Structure 1
Amino acid sequence: MSHKEIYEHFHPDEKAFVDRAWEWVERAAERHETKRTDFLDPRQAHILFTLANRHPDAQVLLNGGSEKAERQRAIVAPDYKVLDDIDMGIVILDISSDDRRISELDHGDYLGALLGLGIKRDKIGDLHVSESGCHALIAEDIGNFLLGHMKQAHRIDVNVSVRPLADLREVKVELVEQVLSVASMRLDGVASDVFRLSRTKIVAPIKAGRCRVSWKPVEDPSFQLREGDMVSMKGFGRFKVLEVEGVSKSGRVRVRVGKFV
């Protein structure tokens, strides 16, 4: 397959990952190598599956440690290899505290604490946050480092331990639903209503590359959203387009969205 054929379906910003993923697929198919990746976001997982499907001698298995995991590790292997019993190398980092203020911490506080220690984002899977702390799914190879170095989360003293996946305290993601009446399904229009900001304040971060739609970079404010799209704006939050309910007599679109809290 030519490089042009490989890249034609992907955003230019994704070239570096496409190159890596295609190398994994080629090594599995042609050199009979098995690769266990770090955590991939859903867009990266889609790219990897798309590339593997173009090569009949490779296969991909995904697992993020829980049934509905958003971020998952992948095994890329020759098509003949049995993958059922392969260890995905995922463990739980149990973060707790004797400080009652821990109930006030959110996803961003815990993720920021981990990244602040120099941990790369792709070593961290989903975070399950509750009032008593957080169960962070992590690559097992960083467990010992975190045991020795993670002492605080958002200025609150914490205790950490590494536990097996069987102990996961899974927390379902909450969505706050709202129905909007918008002039069109343009990204900037819907996002400005969801985040309650002016169109001008929304356009700037989109053009600056801080927006992803279904984990794909989008820099065009006029991009048309569709049902099922997941919109993430760095510094603002995330929402999902749940349903386009119809068009009113005046031509406005009724759309139901869910904002992640």
Structure 2
Amino acid sequence: MDKHALLKRYCQPDEKLLLAKVLDQADLSLRKHIVSFSDFLSPSETAMACEVLNKVSDTKFLVFGGYDESERKMISIFPDYFDENDAAFPISAVEISYNVKFSSGLSHRDFLGSILGLGIQRDKVGDIVVTDECATCFVESGISEYIVSGLERVGRTKVDTKIIEINNDIVPQKNMVTKSITVASLRSDAVFGAVFGESRSNIQQLINSEKASVNWMPVKSSSASVKEGDVLSLKGGGRGIILSVNGETKKGRISITIGKYV
């Protein structure tokens, strides 16, 4: 494994540090014949790590964050002769509940701040899904019992904590609104403008400012093409996904179906 060559295109020190650690885990998996795991990574970090790992021979990897639509995820890395079922992720779900009669409502920031206040590092905590009377926090399994025993309050609100089973129903499904639109082409500036209701010139400025992302990676050029299945993110504008590219209309435009979470 030529780590230097794999990291050559990454310029930012924090990116190189992260990816070097991921490559070290891949090397460890190959040398020791074991499954290794990353910490929880942000969407952009996950995208970069997957990009690098795709270039490492003799390994496979999986990503998971506790539920299908999670944003922060762990990566499991293992030799390519391993069965994928052997890569059981060390992720636990901690439910933090409270009585809404004695609180005006707790936010994601409240829950995260209280967990980190226990001395826990951010990369040990995945998504925190907040509902009306509780939050479900996905964390590295090794710290779940510590959170349950140590977290008594979120802000000034008394809370109860327990570890719950991870299953398909653990997080409420997000509502997605779908819409069919037409675009002049599949260029990034054309599609972003149509999806987010911005002028093409505004979108080009946002792309130049690295505020537009495809699959959590900054768009490098306004002329870069997007495709079916791509997730589009605009800073301050939300997120959309290209569900399908339906072909050309009679007027020579391209019909696409997009989805946006509400």
Structure 2 gaps, min length 5: none
- Match of 2:194, SS? helix
CA–CA separation in structure 2 for the residues paired with 1:197 and 1:68? 27
For residues 32 and 86 of structure 1, the distance between their equivalents in structure 2, rounded to whole angstroms, comes to 12
> Amino acid of the residue matched to residue 6 of structure 1?
L
**Which residue of structure 2 aligns with residue 172 of structure 1?**
173
TM-score of the two chains, using structure 1 as the length reference: 0.73
1:183 aligns with 2:184: yes
- State the TM-score, normalized to the length of structure 2: 0.73
SS at match of 1:163: strand
Which residue is 1:151 aligned to?
154
Q: Contact between 1:22 and 1:51, CA under 8 Å: does it hold in 2?
A: no
Unpaired segments of 5 or more residues in structure 1? none
Helix, strand or coil at the partner of 1:22: helix
Provide the C-alpha distance between the structure 1 equivalents of 2:220 and 2:105, rounded to a whole number of angstroms: 34
Give the deviation of 1:69 after TM superposition: 4.9
Larger mean Cα displacement after TM superposition, 190-199 or 143-152 = 143-152
1:50 is aligned to: 54
Map 1:97-176 → 2, pairs under 5 A: 97-99=98-100, 109-110=107-108, 112-116=109-113, 122-143=123-144, 144=146, 147-148=150-151, 151-152=154-155, 157=157, 159=159, 161-166=161-166, 169-176=170-177
- Pairwise CA distance, 1:240: 0.3
Q: CA deviation at 1:177?
A: 0.9
RMSD: 3.8
> Against the structure 1 CA distance between its residues 157 and 260, is the aligned structure 2 distance closer, same or farther, given a 3 Å change threshold?
farther
| CA shift for structure 1 position 103 | 11
Distance 1:44 1:113, change over 3 A: farther
Q: Secondary structure at the match of 2:29?
A: helix
Provide closer, same or farther for how the CA distance between residues 196 and 213 of structure 1 changes in structure 2, counting only shifts above 3 A.
same
| Distance across 2 between alignment mates of 1:121 and 1:205 | 29
Describe the SS at the equivalent of 2:222.
Answer: coil
How far apart are residue 90 of structure 1 and its match? 1.6
